[in-house]
A and B are shown apart, each in its own frame.
Chain A
Amino acid sequence: MTQLIAKDIALNERYTSLFYENKEALEKGSSPILNRMREIAIKRFEKDGIPGFKNENYKYTNLQPIFEKKYQHIFEYKRVEVDLNDVFRCDVPQLDTYVVLLVNGWYYARNRELTELPDGVVVGGLQQVANEHPELVQDYLNRQAALSDDPMVALNTAFAKDGFFMFVPDNVHLEKPIQVINLMRAEESIFATQRNLLVAGKNSQFKVVFCDHTLTQGEFLSNNVTEVFVERDAVVDLYTVQNQNNQANSVNASFFKQEENSNLLTSTATLHGGLIRNNVKITLDGEYSHADVYGMSFTDKKQHVDNYTNIEHAKANCTSNQVYKNVLDEDSVGAFAGRIHVVRDAQKTAAFQRNNNVLLTDSAKMNTKPQLIIDADDVKCSHGATIGQIDEEALFYIRTRGINEADARLMLMNAFAHEVIQEIRVEPLRDRIDELVDKRLRGELARCHSCDMN
């Protein structure tokens, strides 16, 4: 990416000069743990700039057009009025959760204090925790993100001030899931930078559900980074529901580092949104660790969803399993790039990956790029990718049972998605997502579609 054309340089300069002009505002109120990385990060960003088609990792998703638009940047916490009734609508019936609210990438100051949390568990805003308990943050923050060569991650590191923080100490099992509701609400177009950090101590367990929503119709651009540390014997579930308005664009990078015998499940459901890019990097850094990575997207209109995964088997005897499913309607574009990297001597690895896609129209487009990089011999690795349609024979079979074609199609699409949904390990959440997907496929998700609650 050494050859940048003049236009790209101008765009990249806009972001670098934005940084230098607001350096003081960015550093104000932030912990030195965050501040000390900013300048190094912006320099790294400068090297590659906003990725376009020429960047192999962003071959199917050109981020330049969305970054060229004008946005308002928020460098300090602003109180945004949020009707808490709206938040409760995101509630999952039959599921008792701790609810945490973030608005425009900032930890909402009027979050109720989570009093019933077990001893030692810390849940809060990254900015506040980094200032008050730097010892919880400094050993983890940026330890994974700094290794990434993705310029978007560097851009996040340079601009990030706040986000969601969670720390679960050794041997603590959190029974109730934490639900993090990310709301975007603004009168004008805004650019949000959110930085999340989650740490699961040895032999701990927790579940987190991220719900991304927009409350207003404006254009949004979020550049988010989430780092998750899963210590030995820990079990972590992380679910994400992306349901934003069709002008909300986001780039989300998630990093997971797993120690010995840990278990991770991450699942992402993309229902509505504009251009969405999800990067998932998992490092299996301890023997006998296991990762399940699931994703599904349902797109129409001009939506663009790109899922990019990179599973690195750094130690022997680890297993991983990936399933990504996409249903594409109208003029939407989908992309999937999944990589399994087995490093030398990571023997006895078993890694599987599957990507199935259904195209419903001739103007929808799907690009898939599954990759295997294998440097050890005693491994079992496979990947499969298909792009096709609903099975006509199955459709016919259902119709012979007296079910009309539209319903039969819906049933088959639901079944297609259900393979991913059924892996969710929290039953009420599974039912809820099943319901959301069903509504989405019926086109009934109008409220969430615009997410305009007024």
Chain B
Amino acid sequence: MEEQDKILHEVTSQEYKYGFTTDLEMDTIPKGLNEDVIRMISAKKEEPEFMLQFRLDAYRKWLKMPMPEWAYLKIPPIDFQDIIYYAAPKKKAEYESLDEVDPELLETFNKLGIPLEEQKVLAGVAVDAVIDSVSVKTTFKETLAEKGIIFCSFSEAVQEHPDLVKKYIGMAVPVADNFFAALNSAVFSDGSFCFIPKGVKCPMELSTYFRINAAGTGQFERTLIIAEDESYVSYLEGCTAPMRDENQLHAAVVEIIALDRAEVKYSTVQNWYPGDKQGKGGVYNFVTKRGICRGESSKISWTQVETGSAITWKYPSCILMGDNSVGEFNSVAVTNNFQQADTGTKMIHIGKNTKSTIISKGISAGKSDNSYRGLVKVLPGAVNSRNFSQCDSLLLGSTCGAHTFPYVEVGNKSSIVEHEATTSKIGEDQIFYCNQRGISTEDAIGMIVNGYAKEVLNKLPMEFAVEAQKLLQISLEGSVG
């Protein structure tokens, strides 16, 4: 037993491997937030009037909102005036080939093991790489354009497709939805925009890598995905952040709109800098993600692997409006050292015969706290709806916590909702069994953790699953995983 504790300790005390910063020339504005800053952001991005109004509306509502305190998190007070709300690499990036890209930037990607060219060749993935707010490179754009798919940075979409942006922005996440969504709506710098026209199946997986880079800049990404009738898209989002001492705020918004019989798969691997072993530093990840299944028989599925961030506050949700629509949520959340995570989902059943599935796997180690918080709400009109939720927590060590806060509200007699949750540690008998077969305790823990998360990892697209496993290893470190 002592031996096992020792290994657990070793395994969970590894330092963050991806901590490095890239020196790029940055174009920033002064710290602080007020209407002038918002006007400045909007002007810098040469936005049309409706976007400025959208931002100002959000900002005015945000001013009246209190910081939410209901989550099972200890959030140190955040000085919103001490943040730079806009940072962009100075060189306006418009590259024709990879050779023109800032070599230092390419190096950054190489260190992360996600070189653009490799992705391009091996995976056939179009990468819209975002470094601190402005899209630097978009590949495969032409291939996608042939099919009528629009995949570009948010600012580009605002310039080139303002009608689409105007129609759909704020549809899933209204400006005043919550404190952080309102903040994002007011100051968001850039993000991705994706539009799949009617009947088109996107031939490749779309992917964006987010990366916080400039010191003292919060990153406010905004992603909007629209899938028209009978279309399909699989979207990947992944992030790693370099080591910083000072806490960084990340408040992103992701909106997905699925029309009749459309399907959207959204996968995330999140590995922001979690802070060091003393709990110093780390990214605050306060994200609002929501999809609306507006059309009948539409489907939205969220898959996430959360390994990073000092504090995670994230609830990817589905509003199942269309009849027969389907929502899915698959999550692995790992917390270590002093990390805190309060994450889960909301499934709002509005249409008839709607179905949702929730699989959540939490792994806590060190002195961390890992909470699942979820809502399943079946409205009276959502007859014959079905939900199944399973939330499991695994505790590694006696100083961490695992918590479950599910909310289930059902308003009609024909719906069936089931929820189950378990909390346990790795069984001594399981480890003993592995030892007996000649597998070291360290490897055994790795195998068991991996097996435990497999159900969710399997839902990730191939290319991503590999990276996800790697990140799982880094968070609990090398030997585990």
Contacts and interface: CB of A to CB of B under 8 A. Distances in A.
Interface of A: 56, 344-345, 347, 357, 359-389
16 contacts: A359-B410, A359-B412, A362-B380, A362-B383, A362-B411, A362-B412, A365-B411, A368-B409, A368-B419, A370-B406, A372-B403, A373-B72, A374-B395, A379-B424, A382-B422, A385-B420
Given A365-B409, A372-B404, 13 more contacts: A362-B413, A365-B380, A366-B408, A367-B409, A367-B410, A368-B409, A371-B403, A377-B395, A377-B396, A382-B420, A385-B420, A387-B410, A387-B417
A361 B410 CA distance: 11
Contacts of A382: 420-423
A387 B418 CA distance: 6
B420 A377 contact: no
Contacts of A369: 405-408
Interface of B: 70, 72, 380, 383, 393, 395-425
Nearest to B397: A377
A450 to B, nearest CB: 27
Q: Determine the main DSSP class of B at the interface with A.
A: strand
Contact of B393 (A357, A363, A374, A386): A374
A385 B418 contact: yes
A396 B408 CA distance: 29
Contacts of A371: 403-406
A373 B413 contact: no
B421 A361 contact: no
A373 B57 CA distance: 39
Nearest to A369: B407
Contacts of A360: 413
Contact of A384 (B398, B403, B409, B420): B420
A344 B399 contact: yes
A345 B398 contact: yes
Contact of A374 (B380, B399, B402): B402
A386 B418 contact: yes
B190 to A, nearest CB: 36
A344 B403 CA distance: 13
A384 B421 contact: yes
5 closest Cβ pairs, A-B complex:
A377-B395, A372-B404, A384-B420, A388-B416, A382-B422
Contact of A359 (B393, B404, B413): B413
Nearest to B425: A377
Contacts of B416: 386-389
B405 A386 contact: no
B372 to A, nearest CB: 9
Nearest to B380: A362
A376 B401 CA distance: 7
Contacts of B400: 375, 377
Contacts of A362: 380, 383, 411-414
Contact of A368 (B383, B408, B422, B423): B408
B398 A385 contact: no
A135 B462 CA distance: 72
Nearest to A358: B413
B195 to A, nearest CB: 38
B410 A366 contact: yes
A357 B416 CA distance: 10
Given A386-B419, A387-B408, A379 B425 contact: yes
Which of A365, A374, A376, A386 has the most B CB atoms < 10 Å from its CB?
A: A374
B410 A56 contact: no
Contacts of A381: 422-424
A383 B383 contact: no
Nearest to B392: A382
A389 B412 CA distance: 10
Contact of B423 (A345, A367, A370, A372): A372
A370 B396 CA distance: 23
A66 to B, nearest CB: 21
A344 B423 CA distance: 14
B406 A379 contact: no
A71 to B, nearest CB: 31
A376 B398 CA distance: 5
Contacts of B417: 385-388
A382 B406 CA distance: 13
A358 to B, nearest CB: 9
A383 B420 contact: yes
A380 B422 CA distance: 8
B415 A387 contact: yes
Contacts of B395: 374, 376-377, 379
A386 B403 CA distance: 19
Nearest to A372: B404
Contacts of A345: 398
A380 B410 contact: no
A344 to B, nearest CB: 7
A56 B70 contact: yes
Contacts of A383: 404, 419-421
A141 B402 CA distance: 34
A368 B414 CA distance: 17
A316 to B, nearest CB: 11
Given A363-B380, A366-B409, A389-B413, A380 B424 contact: yes
Contacts of A387: 408, 410, 415-417
Contacts of A373: 72, 401, 403
A374 B413 CA distance: 33
Contacts of A377: 395-398, 400, 425
B403 A374 contact: yes
Contacts of B402: 372, 374
A379 B407 CA distance: 23
Contacts of B424: 379-381
Contacts of B421: 370, 372, 382-384
A382 B405 CA distance: 12
Nearest to B412: A362
A376 B393 CA distance: 12
Nearest to B405: A371
B100 to A, nearest CB: 52
Contacts of A361: 413
A115 B420 CA distance: 51
B422 A367 contact: no
Contact of A367 (B401, B407, B420): B407
Nearest to B426: A377
A426 B70 CA distance: 43
Nearest to A368: B408
A367 B419 CA distance: 12
Contacts of B397: 377
A383 B407 CA distance: 13
Contacts of B405: 369, 371
Which of B383, B393, B424 has the most A CB atoms < 10 Å from its CB?
A: B424
A380 B400 CA distance: 15
Nearest to B389: A385
A56 B416 CA distance: 25
Contacts of A372: 393, 402-404, 421, 423
A365 B381 CA distance: 12
A373 B369 CA distance: 10
A382 B417 CA distance: 17
B317 to A, nearest CB: 17
A372 B391 CA distance: 11
A52 to B, nearest CB: 16
B449 to A, nearest CB: 14
Which of B380, B406, B410 has the most A CB atoms < 10 Å from its CB?
A: B410
Nearest to B72: A373
Nearest to B418: A386
